Amino acid sequence: LIHPEYEMTLRTYLSGFDFKIKKVGFTENGTLNLKELENLINKDASLIAFQSPNFLGYIEDIEKIVCLAKDAGALTVMITNPLGLAILKEPAKFGVDIVCGEGNVLGGDLNFGGSCFGFLATKMEFVRQMPGRLIGRTVDLDKNTSFCLTLQAREQHIRREKATSNICSNSSFNAIRAAIYLSLLGKDGFYKVALYSLNLAHYLYERLKEIKYISFPFSGYFFNEFTYKINDSKRFFYKLYKKKIIAGLLLNKFNFSDCILISCTEKKTKEDIDNFILTIKEIYG
């Protein structure tokens, strides 16, 4: 249950290579069908990629997925929301090999979908295969903190055409913006933002239960986003849009008929949610 557009990107990168991508179904919890995964995976598997919280907003059984991968000798790549890691157990504790995701939640803005930056972390054994340049923190002769290129044997001035740093793009502005955001919040502030988002999402979930026309197709645990369902979701969406309210992301184009993905962040309040619910009740009676 990774984002369908991530899957499209993966298929583009792997086109022309002798790799097969096999998809796993999902359960009524909105999470991966682990029985199906167990039956599907074998010694030929090279990697299991999954998302948690996943595309529908629900938290996967990471420990079980990693266990199945290790038994088959496969690597694991986990796509995640960095904000959720302020509350949820970090992937390294489960033994995930590679972690990546979108960094836009770290002080970024909507900006019509961009620009933003991605983050990538891995076990030390894979560091030399990472794309892009690596910056390390050290101290100079005067004991001042300083930064420099590290593991330079990977770099273009040494490896030339074989350098992994050839495969990179510049997202410095976005990364600096995220660094400023995180430094202003601090560890406690970052945790409070995550906790606020979680509590607000669960408050919204409880309020939506009041609307008899709305149902919840999945019953899994979620962080700050989840999926709900309403008949003729497009009509519902545009009625609210006329009231200057965006009801979430329509999932019809992703083959989840009449489903809407909705999230809560520090940008919204309980008053906003109450107004959202009141508007729905006014429209539908």
Q: Looking at residue 222, which CATH number applies to its domain? A: 3.90.1150.10
Please tell me the predicted confidence (pLDDT) of residue 225.
96
CB atoms within 10 A of CB 46: 10
In this predicted structure, what is the pLDDT of residue 92? 93
Same domain, 115 and 213: no
Q: Do 82 and 137 share a domain, yes or no? A: no
Mean pLDDT for all residues in the chain: 91
Count of domains in the chain? 3
- For 252, the domain range is 187-280
Same domain, 52 and 156: no
Distance, in Å, from the CA atom of 128 to the CA atom of 131, rounded to the nearest integer, reads 8
Strands, sheet with 249-250, edge to edge from the N-terminal-most edge strand: 214-215, 225-230, 259-263, 249-250
Residue that finishes a domain, picked among 144, 176, 208: 176
Q: Name the H helices within the chain.
A: 4-14, 34-40, 62-72, 91-94, 156-159, 172-208, 233-241, 270-284
pLDDT at 168 over 70: no
In this predicted model, what pLDDT tens digit does every residue of 77-113 receive, in sequence order? 999 999 999 999 999 999 999 999 999 999 888 777 7
Name which residue leads in pLDDT, 203 or 39. Answer: 203
> Which of the 8 DSSP states describes residue 285?
-
CA–CA gap between residue 272 and residue 27 (Å, rounded): 32
41, 171: one domain: yes
In a domain, 182, yes or no: no
Nearest to 31 by CA among 198, 227, 247: 227
Does 123 share its domain with 154? no
Q: How confident is the model at residue 66 (pLDDT cuts 50, 70, 90)?
A: very high
106 in any annotated domain:
yes
What does the pLDDT read at residue 283? Answer: 86
Residue 79 and residue 90 in one domain: yes
In a domain, 63, yes or no: yes
Omega into 52 within 30° of 0, i.e. cis? no
In a domain, 158, yes or no: yes
